[in-house]
Amino acid sequence: MDATLTDGVVRAGSDARERFYDARGYGRPVGGDLALAPVEAAHLLYRGDLDSVDGMGFRAFLASAAVPETAVLVYKDLRDRGFYLSPARERWVADRDTTGPVDFVVYPRGKGPWDDDVAYRVAVVGEREPVSAADLGEVVVAVVDEESEITYLETDRPTVSGSSGVALPDGVAGDLLADRVFCWGPPASLYERGFYGQRLDEQGGDVLQLSLVEAAYLARRGALAVEGGPGAVVERGREVEGDRFDRRLRAYTALRGRGVVPKTGFKFGADFRTYAGVESVADLGHSEWLVRVLAAGHAFAPRDLALDVRLAHGVRKEMVFALVEGADDADEDQHGGADGDRTGDTDGGVEWLSVGRLTP
């Protein structure tokens, strides 16, 4: 069976409609004929169901660049997994599915374009194409790596919610060192219930080491007294980390405000690991999230995403990205007066994006 390609649409006759659309969910009926997207035609050529498009077989059709090979590979993989799917083109699928970065609408197994159900909305990217964080949250990203293996990444917009919290002390003395603060004689609860800092002496002692982000947060709330005030700590943070410090402080503040304890994620190569229900440090569960803090306009290299998601999976945590709007410091004026650290604030310009592996 032969078909023709015009303006990005492959046309075949009523016979094709019956064989490919009615029986197996390829294409879109137009009058009595069948319209196929190039990716669908490529798959039919590969299978030998279609003999040619404008005289081209599978090899020539691919070489003609009528369709990117990444789309062909993902389409084939999803078909091989038993799914019917449609290209996310206008009139091919519902209007809601043609906006955003969606390439394919995948139907639940056993369903097809005749039904209303959608299993996945899939965006196809090559491993070298940057992926904008703003585009993620609802789609499944199918990354085709350089050796044509496909990794599916599920994205979501989780909510932050926890039950951790502690009453904060008033103006505990601290010394700002090169890139941390040593805090002298704080109430035991600051560490033991609030999980702020790290003791210098594991057996107890009176020195609590705070990271700059912890110290900035506590100083702003009046819980820590450092020479130069909160501003000196923030200034030091910016010196050693640049803009990243402000973003991290915003994310830290948003998490604490929601009852979630952020601790360093350094050992996992992340900004934070988080605990949603700290009753006491002596009785600490596993941390649930790994958080990487990014500017809201960030574009991911798919390989970096693969690295983070793989690592998080390996340590049984969820990979979450904190996307921080703007460079200005919305939290500047919130210090002082709080009884505890759970302010119930809004997230102050921080959005949350989770990314995980998916086997369709």
182/345 with CB nearer a second copy: 182
C-beta closer to a second copy: residue 234 or 270: 270
CA distance 162 to 277: 6
Q: Which of 31, 95, 159, 178 forms a contact with a second copy (CB under 8 A)? A: 178
Q: Which range in 20-28, 31-39, 102-110, 146-154 contacts a second copy by CB under 8 A?
A: 146-154
The two tokens of residue 111 are 């369903």
Greatest alpha-carbon pair distance for the chain in Å reads: 84
Pull the structure tokens for residue 199. 């003791």
Closest CA to 331 of 230, 199, 200: 230
**Are 335 and 345 a contacting pair, CB within 8 Å?**
no
Question: Contact region for a second copy (CB under 8 A) — 59-67, 87-95, 333-341, 346-354?
Answer: 59-67
Query: Considering the rule CB under 8 A, would residue 137 count as an interface residue with a second copy?
Result: no
Range in contact with a second copy (rule: CB under 8 A) among 26-34, 164-172, 179-187, 342-350: 179-187
Residue 92 interacts with a second copy (CB under 8 A)? no
317 is catalytic: yes
Binder of a second copy out of 16, 27, 70, 106 (CB under 8 A): 70
CA–CA separation, 188 vs 33, rounded Å? 77
Stretch that binds a second copy, among 117-125, 261-269, 319-327, 333-341 (CB under 8 A): 261-269
Q: Which of 213, 261, 322, 353 binds a second copy (CB under 8 A)?
A: 213
Residue 286 is a catalytic residue:
yes
Residue 177 contacts a second copy per CB under 8 A: yes
Signed CA dihedral, 331, 334, 338, 344: sign only:
negative
Q: How many residues bind a second copy (CB under 8 A)?
A: 53
Segments in the chain forming alpha helices (H): 14-16, 23-24, 38-47, 58-63, 69-80, 188-192, 212-220, 229-241, 243-257, 302-314
Nearest to 104 by CA among 118, 116, 115: 118
* 263 labelled catalytic: no
Instruction: Tell me: does residue 263 bind a second copy (CB under 8 A).
Output: yes
Q: What is the residue-wise DSSP string for 158-184?
A: PPP------B--S-EEEEE-SSSEEEE
Query: CB neighbours of 305 closer than 8 A, spacing ≥ 6?
Result: 131, 141, 143, 153, 355
Calpha distance 264→247 (Å, rounded): 14
Smallest gap from residue 307 Cβ to a second copy (A): 2
C-beta of 159: minimal distance to a second copy in Å? 26
Can residue 62 be called a binding residue for a second copy (CB under 8 A)? yes
Q: Is 68 in the site for a second copy (CB under 8 A)?
A: yes
Does 268 bind a second copy (CB under 8 A)? Our answer is yes
**Catalytic center residues:** 275, 286, 317
User: Which residues bind to a second copy, rule: CB under 8 A?
Assistant: 46, 59, 62-63, 65, 68-70, 76, 126-128, 143, 145-149, 151, 175, 177-180, 182, 184, 197-198, 200, 209, 211-214, 240-241, 263-264, 266-270, 302-304, 306-308, 310-311, 314-315
